Structure formats: C-alpha cells, structure tokens
Amino acid sequence: MDTVILSDSEADLLKAAELIKNGSIVGIPTETVYGLGADAANENAVRGIFAAKGRPADNPLIVHLADFSQAVEYTSEIPELAWKLAEKFCPGPLTMVLPKNNRIPMVTSGGLDTVGIRVPSHTVMHRIIELSGCPIAAPSANTSGYPSPTTAQHVFRDMNGRIAAVVDGGQSQFGVESTVISFDGKDAVRILRPGAVTREMLLEVCGSVVIDPAILHEVEAGAKVSSPGMKYKHYSPKADIIMVEGSIGAFTELIGRSGGDSVYSLIFDGDEEVFPYRHLTYGSDSAEQAHLLFQKLRELDELGAEKVYVRAPSPEGMGLAVYNRLIRAAGFEVIRV
C-alpha cells in the first residue's frame, strides 16, 4: 500500500473522511500530536491501528468526538464534574476516562470497561470527525515506543506503506499528548498522563487533583496501574537518553567528564552561550519545550546520536508533561549534579 499525503483542503478532508468511513486508517493532525485515526466502532479497522503501530493489544485507544455532548452515545455514565470540565476544556488537549457502553468494542478499549473521550480543537481534525460521522479512535501516530509525531513528515516516516493516507495539517501546536484524567469521586480527578491542561488548571474546576505516582516513578513489573500506557517504555529514540538535573555550570562539567563532543547534549535555549560541546536546544520555557521535545529527539536519531545527556526541564505547570516524557524516554535514568 502506498501512503498518500493529503492537504487540508476541503476536497482532501472529504477523501480522508471517506477512507475512515470505509475502514481505512489515516494519519491525522491534532493540536497535541498526530494521531492514527480509524472508525472506533469498526473492530477490523481498530485492529489495523494496533498492527500498524506494533502496539500491545491491552493498551486502549482514545476516542475522539466532534463535541463532548456526543459522549452520551458511547458511555454509560457521565459525572457532573465531567460536564463542568468539558465546558472549560473541550475542545482541547484533555482526555476523560469514562465507563464505556457496548458501542465501543473491547478491541478499542484494550479490554477495559472504560473509554478515554477527547474533543480535539484542531480545525482539520474537527472537520474530519464531522465529515466522517464516526467516533475516531486515534493513538499517537508513531511506531509503538518511539517519540510521538508532531508533523505529517514524521508520520510518513513511521507509517509509510502501513496506512492509507496522512493529512498534513502543519506542525502540532502543543507537541505533547493530551492530559488524561480519571474520576476519583464526586469532586476529584486523578491525572494519569500530564499534558497542556495542567493540575493548576484542573483545580479551577475540581476540589482535588491527584497526580498518579506512575507519572514520575517507574512502576514495578506486574504492579497494578491506573492506565495501561504506564507499563510500557515510551517516547524513546534509538539513542540512549540520560536526564541531568542541575545548573548549566554543573551540566557542562559533567559533559566534560563524560565525553564532551563525543556525546550529544540537549540543552535549553540560551545555554549555548556558555556550553562548549555539541548540542541541540529545545526551548527556554515549558510551552516551547513541549512544542519541540519530540521533534528534537527524532533529530538526534537522524544525527546518529548514540548517547544524549538532556538538561531536565522544570516539572512545574506544563513542564510536568515534558518532565514525564523525558524521564520515560530516559528509562527513569536521572543524574543529579
């Protein structure tokens, strides 16, 4: 199969929607990262997503809708708090885990009796959902374990020959995947994966917001997790990633002792003024770092980097999402200097 690249013209979006309606898989842009979209109610199409990514069958897919009110069609119960959150954060980078009904097949939910519901804000994605009339199941469009794609070209590189088409909707705005939450009682939620909707933002609507321990700490083999994605190695380029906490001065000394120009470093914008070794930079605040991280990890692979030392981002606000992706890419290997 040749993978076609489609534009964001109305004619091409109609083509993408037709492909999805007919059971094919299409790479689609969202405001977070690109997704691999198929009709969430079509079991064969959904199996095709798992096969194209090489994804474990027990890792559930998020279902994307054009409007949160459509969630009543695919869930058995929607807490009052979910409606309040939807009012504030939908459309946008928030996924709510809710009890599913039988219109969502078990293949889509990875065998769970819940489903993650998300209403993307990207106009192209929104239009494709509308034109297809389908709930669209879409994981990030990377090969399983690899950094998520933030451009159509990244999707093409990972998926060429495995999917029908990719729609080019430009570079993803946020650059990290949506915040995933579950409900912990009447007024409380739990963050299962941090994203651009931060704990502080959720606290404007919720009485309590718990950060699941698996976001910052490795889960032990066989331990029970709140979200299957927590069990798997994620976001890793081919290079060995080592996260380093400490000042740029201490970081520079460490690199001097650890190989200097024979390793790669990923540092903050501005650090290059005092850092003498070979490097890439990934922004200077959390939003920029989120926007650039996956792209830079992919670039490091293209450069042939084998070992990469990364300056640890601040884990505050949206930085928690960046920190979480990096610590997983590093296999929880952190050096403090």
Positions in the binding site for ligand TXA (CB under 6 A)? 30, 32-33, 35, 59-62, 93, 95, 97, 109, 112, 114-116, 118, 138-140, 177-178, 180, 192-193, 227-229
CB of 122 to Mg ion, least distance (A): 17
CA torsion sign, 113 to 200 to 82 to 127? negative
5, 152 Cβ separation under 8 angstroms: yes
172 in contact with Mg ion (CB under 5 A):
no
CB of 16 to ligand TXA, least distance (A): 14
Q: Which does 35 bind (CB under 5 to 8 A by kind): ligand TXA, Mg ion, none?
A: ligand TXA
281 in contact with Mg ion (CB under 5 A):
no
Neighbour tally for 306: CB within 10 Å = 13
The label of the residue with tokens 């949160």 reads 68
CB of 337 to ligand TXA, least distance (A): 31
Query: Which region among 80-88, 136-144, 279-287, 290-298 touches Mg ion (by CB under 5 A)?
Result: 136-144
Q: Which does 295 bind (CB under 5 to 8 A by kind): Mg ion, ligand TXA, none?
A: none
Kindly report whether the peptide bond that precedes residue 91 is cis, defined as omega within 30 degrees of 0: yes
Estimate the crossing angle of helix 123-132 against helix 10-21, to 10 degrees: 50
DSSP string, 142-153: SPTTSPPP-SHH
Strand, coil or helix: 245: strand
Q: Which does 107 bind (CB under 5 to 8 A by kind): Mg ion, ligand TXA, none?
A: none
Query: Which region among 54-62, 76-84, 93-101, 138-146 touches Mg ion (by CB under 5 A)?
Result: 138-146
**What are the Cα distances from residue 130, in Å, to 16, 63, 70?**
11, 14, 12
Q: How far apart are CA 184 and CA 200, in angstroms?
A: 17
CB of 112 to ligand TXA, least distance (A): 5
140 in contact with Mg ion (CB under 5 A):
yes
The binding site for Mg ion (CB under 5 A) comprises 140
